[in-house]
Amino acid sequence: MQTKIKIKEDLLDAIQEPIIEDSFGISEDKIKEPLYYEGTAVRCFCLGCGTSTELLPEGAIHLAELAEVDIPLSWNNFYFVSQSCIICAKDYYEVNLKKIK
């Protein structure tokens, strides 16, 4: 009969982080789509989990700091891309600010 500690160790060893082999793509239609929520400034696309999040100006400033870019005078025609986000990780990582073409 296994002890409770041994069972816990076996279960914890079996849990692993998911391996993402391919990143999610971003639809050009989604990039150009108007923001839905009132008060949001910009959208962020996560390549890690495929989610699209609309950000308030304060969140956009936080991501601009993570991306190490100057904060634009207007967020119009910009969007962020990250390798992970607060949904699939603890924070946004490898963030880039891009201009809508």
Would you list the DSSP string of the chain? ---HHHHHHHHHHH--PPP--SPPP--HHHHHSPP-STT--EEEEETTT--EEEE-HHHHHHHHHHHT-PPPS--TTEEEEESB-TTTSSS-BS-EEEE--
- 77 CB-near residues (< 8 Å, 6+ apart): 99, 100
Residue range 54-68, pLDDT digits in tens: 999 999 999 999 999
Domain assignment of residue 47, yes or no: yes
Give pLDDT, residue 95: 96
Does 91 fall in a domain? Answer: yes
| Residue 18 included in any domain | no
89 within domain boundaries: yes
Q: Which domain holds residue 101?
A: 39-101
> What pLDDT is stored for residue 78 in this prediction?
96
Number of domains composing the chain: 1
User: Regarding predicted confidence, which is higher, 24 or 44?
Assistant: 44
Is residue 33 a part of any domain in this protein?
A: no
Percent of the chain with pLDDT over 90: 58
**pLDDT tens-digit profile of 66-89?**
999 999 999 999 999 999 998 888
